[in-house]
Chain A
Amino acid sequence: MTLLSNILRFLSGDAQADRVVPPTGFTARLTVFASAAMAFLAVFALAFSLATGRLADRWGDALAKSATIRISAPADQMDAQLLAVTEILATTPGVKEARPLGEDEQRALLEPWFGPDLPLDRLPIPRLVEVIEDDEGFDAAGLRARLAGEAPGAILDDHARWREPLVKAATRLRSLGLVAIVLITALAGVVITLAASAALSANEQVIRVLRLIGARDSYIAHAFVRRYTLRALAGAAVGTVMGALALFLLPSAGAEGGFLTGLGLQGWQWLWPLVIPLFAALVAFLATRQAALTTLQEKR
């Protein structure tokens, strides 16, 4: 409550107090522009992080799911081989669950390709066993070797595995996106500190006069800090809107639309960019206050 009222008082400010520091045209425009540009970049870094995060999650889920064992054998050996496979799987470490697909399930899988009237019982259709891994995962090469020995018609298809490096890459990309956000934030802090320091030294005489007539450091610092915080807030708001608009206007492809077109934000994620201007204002506040108090310490 006090924090909120402090913030409100800070933002509403004291018009007279603002006027004691002369307008600083050049650094002012510089600050607004820099904040806008960095907010724009931050929107993309954010979207990038969220998109790669989604990708990693999606692919990671698929990975966790399953592998399939396909048994192709003459009809009279089918049951024997199925039994052998089930027994092998029961003793394979890393297998959480193994389940032969029923006839109905297989029919459902094939229906889209061959239509509903498929005479499954009369066709040499391979039987499928769904294998669900536990967290450790099984040793695919070892399992293949055992299958080849005991159920020659069984083939392990761990199609999801090729995605593993991709998931790793996507996770890494997400971290890179976060690093980019941190760097942009740091850069915003640096730029605003430089602009504020320049303004402070340009106003050395003003600060001297204010001190001489009894102004406290906090009063003088406040005049600068408020100004730069509001500029960063305004600039970042504009930059964020532009960035979000650019994302919004990206041509969208479906869920499978690949990586680049998946860069947009989804649903509640559109709320994330709202944080950027507030965060920029916070960075500006801290950076300017630090610069102002440091500069003031050197004077009497």
Chain B
Amino acid sequence: MIELEQVAYGYGTGTLLSDVTMSLAQGSFHFLTGPSGAGKTTLMKLCYGELVAEQGSVALFGQNVREMQRDDVAEVRRRIGVVHQDCQFLDHLSLAENIMLPLTVSGRALHDPSELQELLAWVGLQQQANAKPPELSGGERQRAALARAVIMSPDVILADEPTGNVDWDMSVRLLQLLVELNRMGKTVMIATHDMNLIRSAKSQVQARVLRISNHQVTAAGANL
């Protein structure tokens, strides 16, 4: 689904990632860890084409990002649901409209309108459906971001710190949603610092852990 070959990237202030080779196979479940500032968010951005690798190549669904037209990028992003670390909502629309936005911009609609209610219920946001994003707490926004990321039923879900601002029970609940989607065949990658979350996932799903250190991505051992 997503393949990186000897990718290097830096923000002009030196190398952040170098010689990164990894692949997210269909139906796989990955965690991405590493110290703050290691480049987890940057790696995610490379994986949905917001950033373009300086060296090496990134292929999304078999297409090289560097060769994609702008409309191809849009098309690919419809197949990758992203929970952004900073959420990225449209503040003038209600939460429900924001969650539905990926469908709106691609000219689609839910098969069944009750799906939205179910999704809102799962992430615990039925009460807030009509609130504007700035009126919500950080955790509520994060839950909404996850709801938006999965609404299109995308092939790949990339979640950047989806549980950073929520309590443990809600973390487990959000993780369970991602695990369920993975069981349905979706490819999932979660960036997180939370080792407890990774441990609790291990009992439910065959998850692999990737760690960024020294500009490299390595597979972490089983002994977390």
Interface residues of A (CB under 8 A from B): 16-17, 19-20, 22-23, 206, 208-217, 219, 296-297, 300
Q: Is the CB of A206 within 8 A of B90?
A: yes
How far, in whole Å, are A300 and B101 apart by their CA atoms in the complex? 18
Q: Which A residues are in CB contact (< 8 Å) with B183?
A: none
Q: B117 at interface (Cβ–Cβ under 8 A)?
A: no
Flag if B77 contacts A213 (CB, 8 Å): yes
Chain A contacts for B82, CB-based, 8 A: 212
Are A19 and B93 in contact, with the CB atoms below 8 A? yes
In Å, the complex CA distance between A216 and B76 comes to 11
Interface string of B116-128 (1 = CB under 8 A from A): 0000000000000
Interface contact B97-A212, CB-CB below 8 Å: no
Interface pair A219/B77, CB less than 8 Å apart: no
Question: Within the complex, what minimum Cβ distance (angstroms) separates A21 from chain B?
Answer: 9
* Contact assessment for B105 and A20 in the assembled complex, using a CB-CB cutoff below 8 Å: yes
**Chain A positions within 8 Å of B90 at CB level:** 20, 22, 206, 209-210
Against A, the Cβ 8 Å flags (1 = close, 0 = not) of B82-115 are 1010001111110001000110111000000000
CB distance A217 to B71 under 8 Å?
Answer: yes
A25 shortest CB reach to chain B, Å: 12
- Chain A, residue nearest B73 (CB): A300
Determine the chain A residues whose CB is within 8 A of the CB of B148 once the complex forms: 213
Residue B50 at the chain A interface, CB threshold 8 Å: yes
Residue on A nearest B77 in the bound complex, by CB? A214
Contact partners of A215 in chain B: CB under 8 A:
74, 105-106
For residue B75, CB closer than 8 A to chain A, the reply is: yes
Question: Quick one: closest A residue to B78, CB to CB?
Answer: A214
**Complex A-B: 25 CB contacts under 8 Å:** A17-B104, A17-B105, A19-B93, A20-B90, A20-B101, A20-B105, A22-B91, A206-B90, A212-B48, A212-B50, A212-B77, A213-B102, A213-B148, A214-B74, A214-B77, A214-B105, A215-B106, A216-B70, A216-B71, A216-B74, A216-B105, A217-B70, A217-B74, A219-B105, A300-B73
Cα separation A206 to B90 with both chains bound (whole Å) = 6
Q: Which residue of A lies closest to B106 (CB)?
A: A214
Cross-chain contact A22 with B92 (CB below 8 angstroms): yes
B74 engages A16 (CB within 8 Å):
no
Q: Which residues of B contact A296 (CB under 8 A)?
A: 70
A216 contacts which chain B residues (CB < 8 A)? 70-71, 74, 105
B162 an interface residue at 8 Å Cβ cutoff? no
Q: Are A210 and B105 in contact (CB under 8 A)?
A: yes
- Cα distance A206–B92 when bound, in Å? 10
